[in-house]
Amino acid sequence: MKDLTVGNEAKLIFKFALPMVLGMLLQQLYHVVDRIIVGNYLGTVELAAIGASSPIFYALIAFVIGIGSGATIIISQYFGAKNLDKVKKAIDTIYIFLFLASIILTSIGILFSEEIFRLLHVEEDVIPLATDYFNVFMMGLVAFFGFSGTSSILRGLGDSMTPLYFMVIATVVNIVLDIVFIVVFNWGISGVAYATIIAQGGAFISGAIYLNKKHQIISFNVLQFSFDKELFMQSIRIGLPTGFQQTFVALGIMALIRIVNNFDTNVLAAYTVASGIDALAAMPALSLASALSAFVGQNLGAQRIDRIKKGLKATLFMAWGISLVVMLCVIFFGEYMMQAFTQDENVISHGANYLVIVSSFYMIFSTMFVMHGVLRGAGATLIPMFITLFSLWVIRIPFAVFLSKIFGVNGIWWAIPIGWSMGLAGSLIYYFTGKWKSKGVISAAP
């Protein structure tokens, strides 16, 4: 565990974020390796099937992840206030919630998967493959929630190294199983999903065993878990806006997929690959924002507003520097990156255009997420939710529809940075009002 309320702000955030950057990169590497193997050993239709499945999976889990983020913020603030009894109760409560949610969502996802794909107007030749992949993936949801929940809780406690160790193991296992299941056993696209859920399950079980033996706060004794209604309601209060935000963002991605599906399968395959590269490039900014959230949570709990401002400034400079480097790499080498996934010239062309357009605005993207990190760490999640929904549903989606009719596929890609720009403007306005400083949970706690 790491106390983030003392010490140099920039060094603390950098050291705390570094394992998270590596962990998120490894987690995203799951998807990158999946797409590389699928693109080279299976084909364009299979790539499109993965691209159609991912936003549906995200839409189903987004609300739960949002509620879980509320618990993580509470954990970081109570830990900053040195109230370890509340920390333990919050941990028990979030695990019970995640387990029950995984059972419900798995049932819903498998039951309605094919109908959802048809609603998105996915091509008929893609639907059977997408359904097979998605249903297998959903069967491992309990392991996904378990490992993600454990990692988030540890970060709230200031421990960002332990999740990284288990993510390294999971990534290696996933890559090996991808090759075995697809190249050796010829299991097709379902083999990709089996590889991922086995790797996630192994990471969760290993993490549970380790924490039972080594950690002084977290234990995985199911018989001793207790559900604290008051803490759960606090999690709801803080996490509900984020939950709604995540859900509507996921639905927005599904809407974007629906627009992409107005074109041919090659465009969906290009979006699948390029958005995966884009997500990988965005990991440093997302990790810095998450580290800043934990930093803000602990320092708000300790009533150190001065440190929060210094931490924000330091994080912004780090995010801008990294974004500039990543932007140049993606712009100049994006086409070569696409070639690692497929040799289809149409897919490569559409994907390369996506990467050039979107990566040119990475500095705006990173600034927006860093500002969101401050607000979420403080527990001020309601206004950012409205800002995000406005930038997505009022700006990005309508612009994607409008611009795609004028500029074709590239119009969809241009709508993405336009949405980011509006989201950043709203976040900056709310931050400078200063109202986020009064949204912590410590003053409301008994």
* Nearest one of 111, 1, 124 to 56, comparing CA atoms: 111
Lowest mean pLDDT among 157-171, 267-281, 340-354, 430-444: 430-444
The Cα–Cα gap between 283 and 123 comes to 31
Give CA torsion, residues 109, 113, 117, 120, to 10 deg.
-40
Say what the pLDDT of residue 397 is.
Answer: 94
pLDDT of residue 81: 76
Q: Report domain extents, the chain.
A: 9-438
Tell me: pLDDT of 71 over 80.
Answer: no
Structure tokens, 72: 């993580």
pLDDT in tens, 253-294: 889 988 998 888 899 999 989 988 898 888 888 888 888 888
- For residue 96, pLDDT over 90 is answered with no
Please give the residue that has the higher pLDDT: either 385 or 398: 398
Say if residues 87 and 75 touch (Cβ distance below 8 Å). yes
At residue 198, the pLDDT reads: 94
pLDDT classification of 170: cutoffs 50, 70, 90: confident
Site of tokens 């160790």: 165
Asked if pLDDT for residue 160 goes beyond 70, the answer is no
Q: What confidence tens digit (pLDDT) does each residue in 421-438 have? A: 999 999 999 988 888 776
Q: How far apart are CA 274 and CA 263, in angstroms?
A: 16
Q: What is the pLDDT of residue 78?
A: 81
pLDDT mean across residues, the chain? 85
Q: 159 near 4, Cβ under 8 Å?
A: no
Name residue 153's amino acid: I
Average pLDDT over residues 316-324: 94
Q: Is the pLDDT of residue 112 over 60?
A: yes
Tell me the C-alpha distance between 308 and 319, whole Å: 16
* Structure confidence at residue 391 (pLDDT): 92
pLDDT digits (tens, 9 = 90+) for 220-256: 666 677 888 888 888 787 777 777 777 888 888 889 9
Asked whether residue 446 carries a pLDDT value surpassing 50, the answer given is: no
